[in-house]
Amino acid sequence: MTTPGRARRTLRRCACGLRPVQIATILLLVVCGVALLAALLVVQRDARRDERQVWAQRAAASINDEVAGAGSALIGARGLFAASRDVEPSEFETFAAVQLQGSDLLSLIWAERVTAARRAAFERDLGVPILETPPGGVPGPAGARPQYFPLTLIAPAGAPIQVLRGVDAASAALLRPSLTAARDGGGPVMTSALNLDADGGPTAVGLLVAVYGAGPAPATRAERRATLRGYVGGIFAVDRLAQSAHALLPHGARLRILSSGSPVLDTGEERAAGATSDAAVGDTGWTVQVSLVEDPVGTVLPAIGVGAGLLTLILLLAGLFAQANQRRREREDARAQLQHEADTDGLTGLANRRRLERDLARALPGASEEQPLALILFDLNGFKAYNDRFGHPAGDALLVRLAAGLSSVVPQGRAYRLGGDEFCVVAPLGADAAMAVVASALEALSERGDGFTISAAHGVALIPADAATADEAMLVADRRMYARKALGRDSATNQIADVLVRTLEERSPDLRDHTDGVARLADRVAQRLGIGDTGRGPIRHAALLHDVGKVAIPDSILQKPSALDAAERAFIERHTIIGERILRAAPSLASIAPLVRSSHERWDGTGYPDGLAGEEIPLGARIVFACDAFDAMTSSLRTYREAFSQSAALDEIAACAGTQFDPQVAAALIATVREGEPAAAGARDPAPAILAPPR
């Protein structure tokens, strides 16, 4: 029987048989083995933590993109309400139907700002009283306050939230900070999680965007508060916003979303309930937690490494360092790849909206008048019809081809795909260089084939000349793009104008060439005077139709080879009034009727039919009058006199500036004709006074 004392003696004898150097070697190897095991455990822990962190960052980036895309759906609604004072429910329902289709948007709401003075009239028009929601109570009549924000329009009409129509959004304590942030910040703001299910758990989130009055976006907090018209809000399901993020995670992973420490969503495997890694979701106030299922094999790796034996210790140490370096490189490569994927459109390979926002934030501080930054938006025309006819795979292939073409014509800067059929270019370019890039890009974004034509509308914003911030630049470029898009459609205005011109041509074939020439010249002169595309459209139409009243003038007068007598001249001078009456009969042309009526008024007040003078005459009419006179002087179709040379006609225009013609318009006409090309691009949209006289 072995006693403790005998065992101690046996061990002492064994130890005495070893030389000191051997004992030291054994102790060193034992220490190295323990150090190796500890190093393996640390590396394994760090690698697992880094892996969780990578997945958490990727999930957060995906959720942030979904929230950003959801917020962008509200920008169009803001434009809808900012464009006009009153929006019909049918317009709102139509817009909501487009936004709700194929999106994560559950419902769209409009909360209009109502002052205390307007409350009674508003309740009468709305058909329901303004209500307030006390904490934990049932909505009741709102108390007296300086202003209210009742839910005015809600879509879809059948949604359960429809019963809240008339409830003052500002009466909910949880919404007040979000309303204030949306008003003062100018961009989409996320509300706290909303409890819409039967159990009272958070299932949805609201996004709010403030709507200001028409005109440039307010730049200061005081201006935002003064021009606030109301709020557009969208309700989005939290699980839908997180769906793509969860799909990115490996099998068995668990995803949780926390808002101010409170859980909003918990999805995935419950067995993945171990260590977690967190990542913030942009500016939403959310935190994403990701946990992974532990791999049992990973727990035995250190034991296998130690069990390999002390003889392979050096090799294991070398392998450990090599493996650590390799994993570090792999993690760096994985981070770079994830960053690239997060910043790249998966279909076309172009940079995406997330990358655009970061690039703009980086480039804005360096933009100046001497070195401006150009932001150019493009929206494809005809893409939906192409998709409907040839199918989505063919549409995706078309987008890939167009994206490659766009990228190839951007020598400096970067091309982006913002989603759907929208593209963008950001480059350090001035106005002239930007227009050259626009011309190349429009050609690259065009394709024509059997039964289809693809083209693009564009809008340009120069920073800092047109906007000081990225949001303002996007709004300016977007507004200009859709103005061009509207001008390019076969609208009712174009169709009716074409019918009237053809009628005039049948009556007097020579008038068609004359009116076409006047319209082209008027467009160029208006551009030189700084009038943008939106303002030049009515001027072009007025120039094209300024002689439409002559359909009521007898041929004996119109075709008379000699000068007109007093009675005939009085009769023909009525054609501007007749033209105005014809155009007012067509609602789509009524806006240009005043320009046609005043198209023969003189700067000194001796014109007809109203004897207007100076600034009383609409600027568009002054342009048409000068261009009409120049074309008439240089035309060879006047049978009662010889045509002027171009130089002589310009001398006559200059001589009559200040009496017959507006001096500024005359100077612009002379410069335009002598240069033989339009003024430089970058003209801005005019104020309403350019298109109509003071009333």
Q: How many CA atoms lie within 13 A of 130 on its CB side?
A: 26
Of 615, 556, 614, 602, nearest in space to 576 by CA? 602
Average of per-residue pLDDT across 400-416: 90
- Alpha carbon distance 493, 576 (integer Å): 19
Predicted confidence band of residue 684 (pLDDT cuts 50, 70, 90): very low
Predicted confidence band of residue 685 (pLDDT cuts 50, 70, 90): very low
Phi-psi group of 378: left, alpha or beta (phi > 0 → left; psi -120 to 50 → alpha; rest → beta): beta
- Alpha carbon distance 680, 415 (integer Å): 24
- Alpha carbon distance 338, 62 (integer Å): 11
Percent above pLDDT 70 for the chain: 79
| Residues 502 and 545: beta-carbon distance below 8 Å | no
Can you read off the two tokens belonging to residue 570? 């009085």
Tens digit of each residue's pLDDT (9 = 90 or more) over 503-516: 666 666 666 677 88
Q: Of the ranges 108-112, 186-190, 498-502, which one carries the lowest mean pLDDT score?
A: 498-502
Query: pTM for the whole thing?
Result: 0.39
Tens digit of each residue's pLDDT (9 = 90 or more) over 100-109: 776 778 888 8
- Alpha carbon distance 358, 345 (integer Å): 15
| Residues 523 and 536: beta-carbon distance below 8 Å | yes
> Burial level of 395, CB count in 10 A (0-12/13-18/19+)?
middle
Per-residue pLDDT at 628: 92
For residue 386, pLDDT beyond 80: yes
Residues forming a β-bridge with 459: 377
- Alpha carbon distance 232, 211 (integer Å): 7
Can you read off the two tokens belonging to residue 261? 């420490």
- Residue 192 DSSP class: E
Predicted confidence band of residue 301 (pLDDT cuts 50, 70, 90): low
Tens digit of each residue's pLDDT (9 = 90 or more) over 631-649: 888 876 655 557 788 899 9
- Alpha carbon distance 255, 269 (integer Å): 9
Average of per-residue pLDDT across 527-536: 85
Average of per-residue pLDDT across 115-123: 91
CB burial string 617-637: b at 16+ within 10 A, e below: bbbbbbbbbbbbbbbbbbeee
- Residue 693 DSSP class: -
- Residue 574 DSSP class: T
Pairing of strands 105-112, 228-237: antiparallel
DSSP H or E run through 487: helix 470-488
For residue 677, pLDDT beyond 50: no
For residue 98, pLDDT beyond 90: no
| Residues 55 and 191: beta-carbon distance below 8 Å | no
> Burial level of 288, CB count in 10 A (0-12/13-18/19+)?
buried
Can you read off the two tokens belonging to residue 551? 């359909």
Predicted confidence band of residue 38 (pLDDT cuts 50, 70, 90): confident
Per-residue pLDDT at 431: 85
* Domains within the chain, CATH numbers bracketed: 53-316 (3.30.450.350), 353-488 (3.30.70.270), 492-690 (1.10.3210.10)
Q: Of the ranges 168-177, 441-450, 610-619, 684-693, which one carries the lowest mean pLDDT score?
A: 684-693
> Burial level of 55, CB count in 10 A (0-12/13-18/19+)?
buried
Mean pLDDT of the chain: 79
Q: Of the ranges 194-208, 399-413, 620-634, which one carries the lowest mean pLDDT score?
A: 194-208
| Residues 212 and 178: beta-carbon distance below 8 Å | no
Pairing of strands 262-268, 277-281: unpaired
Higher pLDDT, 460 or 86: 460
Higher pLDDT, 454 or 259: 454
